[in-house]
Structure 1
């Protein structure tokens, strides 16, 4: 591939920022209102609050990870653009799946779909990481930032544990494992 086929990352980053902002806005707009203005009514919709918090943290974490990656990327190609579009397509399901999982927290189907979305995002990020390192092979920091073991393999393993526990009769384990991966990722990003 010739040098002329590479593109700047600015427009891709702006598109990504806009999509994440829209997803976060939709998430908060989908939160149900309590039946009355009491703590008991607010407590009654605690699963919605938990699902919102988890999904918001996922959005913030993915945005931060994307920013970390692209501040060190000098060039992208059409494959990277399409991987990002596919990532945004899968990720844009988060508001819908958040409400679905919040409304049916003990349903294996809803929790599985919610967790599956995370797994597909991880797979797309893995493919994108490999492609970005290949295109930007001279960027040592990028190789460290895209440490596949820390960023993708370990969360994938945690998701699998969540699915196994869910199939043993505790569907909410998938959401809890999603929370564990997000908290772990945030802690690693602060180091």
Structure 2
């Protein structure tokens, strides 16, 4: 068995920062312009603003979470890099799904795809958290920052509630559960 090559985190963090910045920029560029300069025209595209807000908060929350984690990580390996690349692949779909949901807010398919994207993000974050804790066992704050219950289990449970609600005929519950998860996560990080 070959020796595991450990690496520093700087380049990974810079790559992650750049990708999130691009995704957030694409999100705002995809917002439709109101048909006219009136409150009625702005209100007519409220679902686009709602979907944008959720997706923006998801992206910025992921950036904040990533920053919090990696300031306490001493070493990473190729597995961690590939988990981050997979995470970026899943996160990069957020602008596309945001427009899809904004244009079809009550569609079962669009809401399920939106919810599954965020569920996949949580699964990848869980696997990454476990790998980072195993690789950096002496970092006590890392274990606290990667609190599986608050970071992974509760958000996943909320996503499942949204998916069940969608199956019962209320597809917009997925977006609502995503929003609840993000607001909860932001409030938790501010403690």
With structure 2 as the length reference, what TM-score do the two structures score? 0.98
- Give the Cα separation in 1 of the matches to 2:143 and 2:52: 32
> In the TM superposition, what is the alpha-carbon distance from 1:2 to its structure 2 partner?
4.1
Please tell me whether residue 89 in structure 1 is matched to residue 89 in structure 2: yes
Name the counterpart of 2:66: 66
Please tell me whether residue 137 in structure 1 is matched to residue 115 in structure 2: no
1:145-188: per-residue Cα shift (whole Å, max 9, x none)? 10111100000000000111111111000000000000000000
Unaligned runs of 5+ in 2: none
- Give the Cα separation in 2 of the matches to 1:29 and 1:178: 22
> In the TM superposition, what is the alpha-carbon distance from 1:100 to its structure 2 partner?
0.1
Name the counterpart of 2:9: 9
- Aligned pairs (5 A) from 1:1-191: 2=3, 5-191=5-191
Work out the number of aligned pairs and report it: 190
- Coordinate RMSD, CA, aligned: 0.8
- Give the Cα separation in 2 of the matches to 1:15 and 1:40: 41
1:44-81: per-residue Cα shift (whole Å, max 9, x none)? 00000000011000011000000000000000000000
With structure 1 as the length reference, what TM-score do the two structures score? 0.98
1:81-117: per-residue Cα shift (whole Å, max 9, x none)? 0000000001100000000000000000000000000
